[in-house]
Structure 1
């Protein structure tokens, strides 16, 4: 069931009482200055929210090629420090991951494999450079683009504020922001010369303690001709709880994953 691949893909990935905030078809989206959009987005971002930890109970469905499956997921996030993910199949924990600022750790009880090392492992799977900060932003719904530091091209498209980077020679990068709520709608990273694609789509948000947090997240990936589509639904979200991040590789997981030799390639930075 390709649990090892799934375990890594899960990394990239994912309104009170379930009600959705959306833009009515007849509502005109106001034109904003770039600086005004940045200010509104920043004010509504998780980075600026007064929360230090997040605990999430979620469900995930995925399709990788002709293979599909459903898993239960539990996330624990300490803002700016670490992300802990536990995946279960039929109620039995099968995969566990601990993502820290400069390292990735995981084990898979099904194929008895484990990994302790750098983010190069993820890059070899999806073809895109990532960091801890990028992964945390994806899970909590913040933009991976630094729109405060860099001024991106800005348009109104598909009833949202559309931002894109036209100066990167290696990757095409774009993002969309919902009007009214100023929350992330989508993010896309695609190789200009290659087949790698990574995209996230935030279908709706939920009100948690007065803060709009993702409710449903879809992830689309493509690397070396293989496509994957993942949908994650956050069922229960709690902020500022005292969390632990237990991680210990079981003795029977004795097959280390060895990275392939690095190839000379240009960075997307």
Structure 2
């Protein structure tokens, strides 16, 4: 389900279920001109950050109809290999997660529970395809869609490049807006009108760090029927290509979470 997907991508990452130093903000000043879909997609793919490792402090705020909660997250990445996250409040560790292309593992200290499995288990639970690449793409401001230039088109709308399918799939209406300066994602949306679901992801100004563009802020809005969820992600600092480690061990005595739809 769409809302569960947002939980897994960010809530599971930040564990809140139930600007940078030496950088400059990039607002953009270029004018979007008429370009082919192949050219725009090539520029977007070329805008993917070039790094080996990344470490960042991230502030995550989760809000729904019942509560609002803010959590500090330590994020570490080895590009295309590992995403490691530690979530804490007032210096107290609430949870840890480690995500690789083959596996997702996390545990929560409040409930003494853990999950350890592959993406196929999560995809079955969510009724939608989820993988490491999509998770990494959201964190880095890249498209989560598999943009095949034979099936997509590009238009200039409000000085942004709007990418959408030539023919929208049934009950999966989606589009993407790119900045004409950085060719990074400005916003993206997916709607499933038959199921009354809507997801939107918006990015604030990008930061230029060590020759690549990185997000400063991400705002996610998800709605499903009458339920609404808002998640904001703010990168407090970004350290590129510093030595990082990924300590992770599920504590003894924790109960394994059983996924059910």
Q: TM-score range by the shorter chain?
A: 0.7 to 0.9
Once the 2 structures are TM-superposed, how far is the Cα of residue 199 of structure 1 from its aligned partner? 2.6
2:137 aligned with 1:137: yes
Cα distance between partner residues in 2 of 1:159 and 1:126: 35
Cα distance between partner residues in 2 of 1:81 and 1:140: 14
Equivalent position of 1:21 in the other structure: 27
Equivalent position of 2:172 in the other structure: 171
CA contact (8 A) 2:31 2:180 kept: no
Structure 1, unmatched stretches of 5+, are 262-269
RMSD: 2.8
2:37 aligned with 1:34: yes
Cα distance between partner residues in 2 of 1:42 and 1:99: 23
Cα distance between partner residues in 2 of 1:129 and 1:87: 25
Query: Which of 21, 25, 45 is the matching residue for 2:48?
Result: 45
Q: Give secondary structure in 2 for the equivalent of 1:10.
A: helix
Structure 2, unmatched stretches of 5+, are none
Alignment: residue pair count: 251
Q: Give secondary structure in 2 for the equivalent of 1:260.
A: coil
TM-score computed with the length of structure 1 as normaliser = 0.82
Cα distance between partner residues in 1 of 2:215 and 2:195: 30
Equivalent position of 2:183 in the other structure: 182
CA contact (8 A) 1:128 1:196 kept: no
Cα distance between partner residues in 1 of 2:127 and 2:12: 12
Once the 2 structures are TM-superposed, how far is the Cα of residue 101 of structure 1 from its aligned partner? 1.0
CA contact (8 A) 1:141 1:214 kept: yes
CA contact (8 A) 1:206 1:212 kept: yes
Equivalent position of 2:64 in the other structure: 64
Cα distance between partner residues in 2 of 1:235 and 1:257: 31
Equivalent position of 1:193 in the other structure: 194
